[in-house]
A = this chain, B = another copy of it.
Amino acid sequence: AMEKSYVSVFLLLVAISCALAAKDAGKKETKETKETTVKPKLPQTLSRGWGDQLIWTQTYEEALFRAKHSNKPLMIIHHLDDCPHSQALKKAFAESKDIQKLAEQFVLLNLVYETTDKNLSPDGQYVPRILFIDPSLTVRADITGRYSNRLYAYEPSDISLLYSNMQKAQKLLKTEL
Protein backbone atom coordinates (compact mmCIF):
# COMPACT_ATOMS: atom_id res chain seq x y z
CA ALA A 1 0.00 0.00 0.00
CA MET A 2 1.28 3.39 -0.90
CA GLU A 3 1.75 5.53 2.10
CA LYS A 4 1.37 9.23 1.71
CA SER A 5 2.59 11.72 4.18
CA TYR A 6 1.69 15.27 3.52
CA VAL A 7 4.22 17.79 4.58
CA SER A 8 1.47 20.17 5.54
CA VAL A 9 3.16 21.00 8.81
CA PHE A 10 5.42 23.20 6.81
CA LEU A 11 3.28 26.14 5.86
CA LEU A 12 4.40 27.79 2.72
CA LEU A 13 4.45 31.26 4.05
CA VAL A 14 6.49 33.55 1.94
CA ALA A 15 6.81 36.50 4.15
CA ILE A 16 7.57 39.47 2.11
CA SER A 17 7.25 42.94 3.27
CA CYS A 18 10.22 44.99 2.34
CA ALA A 19 11.10 46.98 5.42
CA LEU A 20 10.73 50.57 4.46
CA ALA A 21 8.92 52.20 1.59
CA ALA A 22 10.84 51.90 -1.65
CA LYS A 23 12.20 55.31 -2.44
CA ASP A 24 13.39 54.94 -5.96
CA ALA A 25 11.21 53.40 -8.59
CA GLY A 26 14.10 53.73 -11.01
CA LYS A 27 15.92 50.81 -9.43
CA LYS A 28 13.20 48.38 -10.26
CA GLU A 29 13.55 49.09 -13.93
CA THR A 30 17.29 48.55 -13.76
CA LYS A 31 16.70 45.23 -12.09
CA GLU A 32 14.30 44.01 -14.71
CA THR A 33 16.68 44.98 -17.45
CA LYS A 34 19.43 43.02 -15.77
CA GLU A 35 17.31 39.93 -15.52
CA THR A 36 16.95 39.67 -19.26
CA THR A 37 20.69 39.34 -19.69
CA VAL A 38 21.98 35.81 -19.42
CA LYS A 39 23.84 35.20 -16.21
CA PRO A 40 26.45 32.49 -15.78
CA LYS A 41 24.06 30.89 -13.38
CA LEU A 42 26.08 28.45 -11.31
CA PRO A 43 27.15 27.20 -8.86
CA GLN A 44 25.21 29.18 -6.30
CA THR A 45 26.98 30.24 -3.13
CA LEU A 46 25.79 30.35 0.43
CA SER A 47 27.13 33.85 0.95
CA ARG A 48 24.86 35.37 -1.72
CA GLY A 49 27.06 38.45 -1.68
CA TRP A 50 26.95 39.12 2.07
CA GLY A 51 30.64 38.24 2.39
CA ASP A 52 32.20 35.68 0.11
CA GLN A 53 35.18 35.24 2.41
CA LEU A 54 33.04 34.28 5.39
CA ILE A 55 31.79 30.83 6.25
CA TRP A 56 28.01 30.58 5.89
CA THR A 57 25.78 27.81 7.15
CA GLN A 58 23.14 26.39 4.85
CA THR A 59 20.13 25.79 7.06
CA TYR A 60 18.69 26.94 10.38
CA GLU A 61 19.17 23.47 11.84
CA GLU A 62 22.86 23.53 10.91
CA ALA A 63 23.25 27.05 12.28
CA LEU A 64 21.71 26.16 15.66
CA PHE A 65 23.88 23.09 15.91
CA ARG A 66 27.05 25.02 15.15
CA ALA A 67 26.20 27.90 17.49
CA LYS A 68 25.61 25.50 20.34
CA HIS A 69 28.69 23.43 19.75
CA SER A 70 31.13 26.21 18.88
CA ASN A 71 29.83 28.50 21.63
CA LYS A 72 29.59 31.33 19.12
CA PRO A 73 26.54 33.54 18.69
CA LEU A 74 24.44 33.03 15.58
CA MET A 75 23.56 35.93 13.29
CA ILE A 76 20.61 35.40 10.97
CA ILE A 77 20.00 37.79 8.11
CA HIS A 78 16.61 37.60 6.42
CA HIS A 79 16.64 39.28 3.04
CA LEU A 80 15.19 39.20 -0.46
CA ASP A 81 16.81 39.61 -3.84
CA ASP A 82 14.12 41.94 -5.12
CA CYS A 83 14.02 44.18 -2.06
CA PRO A 84 16.10 47.32 -2.65
CA HIS A 85 16.55 47.82 1.11
CA SER A 86 17.96 44.32 1.46
CA GLN A 87 20.30 44.94 -1.43
CA ALA A 88 21.49 48.27 -0.06
CA LEU A 89 22.14 46.77 3.36
CA LYS A 90 23.98 43.86 1.78
CA LYS A 91 26.27 46.23 -0.07
CA ALA A 92 27.08 48.17 3.11
CA PHE A 93 27.54 44.91 5.02
CA ALA A 94 29.86 43.39 2.44
CA GLU A 95 31.91 46.55 2.02
CA SER A 96 32.48 47.24 5.70
CA LYS A 97 35.80 45.74 6.70
CA ASP A 98 34.95 46.05 10.39
CA ILE A 99 31.68 44.20 9.99
CA GLN A 100 33.27 41.49 7.85
CA LYS A 101 36.04 40.98 10.37
CA LEU A 102 33.73 40.82 13.37
CA ALA A 103 31.39 38.50 11.44
CA GLU A 104 34.13 35.85 11.51
CA GLN A 105 33.35 35.44 15.20
CA PHE A 106 29.76 34.42 14.44
CA VAL A 107 27.93 31.46 13.06
CA LEU A 108 26.33 33.02 9.99
CA LEU A 109 23.13 32.31 8.11
CA ASN A 110 21.39 34.34 5.44
CA LEU A 111 17.91 33.30 4.43
CA VAL A 112 15.57 34.24 1.62
CA TYR A 113 12.83 31.88 2.78
CA GLU A 114 11.44 32.12 6.30
CA THR A 115 11.80 29.17 8.66
CA THR A 116 8.80 27.79 10.54
CA ASP A 117 10.23 28.93 13.88
CA LYS A 118 8.13 31.82 15.19
CA ASN A 119 10.92 32.83 17.55
CA LEU A 120 12.65 34.30 14.53
CA SER A 121 9.88 36.83 13.93
CA PRO A 122 9.29 38.50 17.32
CA ASP A 123 7.62 41.49 15.64
CA GLY A 124 6.69 40.00 12.30
CA GLN A 125 8.29 38.76 9.12
CA TYR A 126 9.92 41.46 7.06
CA VAL A 127 13.20 42.08 5.32
CA PRO A 128 15.88 43.07 5.88
CA ARG A 129 15.77 41.67 9.41
CA ILE A 130 18.75 40.64 11.52
CA LEU A 131 18.46 38.50 14.63
CA PHE A 132 21.08 37.21 17.01
CA ILE A 133 20.85 33.92 18.86
CA ASP A 134 23.00 33.13 21.85
CA PRO A 135 24.83 29.75 21.94
CA SER A 136 22.39 28.86 24.73
CA LEU A 137 19.81 29.02 21.89
CA THR A 138 18.11 32.09 23.26
CA VAL A 139 16.88 34.63 20.73
CA ARG A 140 18.45 37.97 21.63
CA ALA A 141 15.23 39.93 21.22
CA ASP A 142 16.92 42.69 23.22
CA ILE A 143 19.35 43.50 20.41
CA THR A 144 17.43 45.88 18.21
CA GLY A 145 17.91 48.56 15.59
CA ARG A 146 16.50 52.07 15.36
CA TYR A 147 12.98 51.49 14.11
CA SER A 148 10.26 50.98 16.67
CA ASN A 149 7.85 49.43 14.19
CA ARG A 150 10.43 46.98 12.86
CA LEU A 151 12.83 46.34 15.66
CA TYR A 152 15.26 44.15 13.75
CA ALA A 153 15.53 46.17 10.54
CA TYR A 154 18.66 48.06 9.57
CA GLU A 155 19.39 50.58 6.86
CA PRO A 156 22.83 51.06 5.30
CA SER A 157 23.29 54.15 7.47
CA ASP A 158 22.84 51.94 10.55
CA ILE A 159 25.99 49.94 9.90
CA SER A 160 27.77 51.27 12.98
CA LEU A 161 24.75 50.43 15.13
CA LEU A 162 24.79 46.95 13.63
CA TYR A 163 28.46 46.69 14.50
CA SER A 164 27.84 47.60 18.13
CA ASN A 165 24.93 45.17 18.23
CA MET A 166 27.26 42.47 17.00
CA GLN A 167 29.59 43.36 19.86
CA LYS A 168 26.66 43.09 22.23
CA ALA A 169 25.83 39.65 20.88
CA GLN A 170 29.44 38.62 21.51
CA LYS A 171 28.81 39.00 25.22
CA LEU A 172 27.21 35.67 25.80
CA LEU A 173 24.33 35.13 28.15
CA LYS A 174 25.03 33.04 31.20
CA THR A 175 23.08 29.86 31.34
CA GLU A 176 20.56 30.31 34.11
CA LEU A 177 20.59 26.82 35.55
A46 to B47, CA, bound (A): 10
**Is A5 among interface residues, defined by CB-CB distance under 8 A?**
yes
Q: How large is the interface on A (under 10, 10 to 19, 20 to 34, 35 or more residues)?
A: 35 or more
The residues of B that contact A43 with a CB separation of less than 8 Å are 45-47, 52-53, 56
Number of copies: 2
The segment out of A7-15, A28-36, A95-103 that lies at the interface is A7-15
B137 touching A7, Cβ below 8 Å: yes
The residues of B that contact A47 with a CB separation of less than 8 Å are 42-44
The residues of B that contact A61 with a CB separation of less than 8 Å are 10, 12, 113-116
A109 to B59, CA, bound (A): 11
- Would you mind naming 17 contact pairs between A and B with Cβ atoms under 8 Å apart? A2-B141, A4-B141, A5-B139, A6-B119, A6-B139, A9-B119, A10-B60, A12-B65, A14-B65, A42-B55, A43-B46, A44-B46, A44-B58, A45-B45, A58-B58, A62-B112, A116-B116
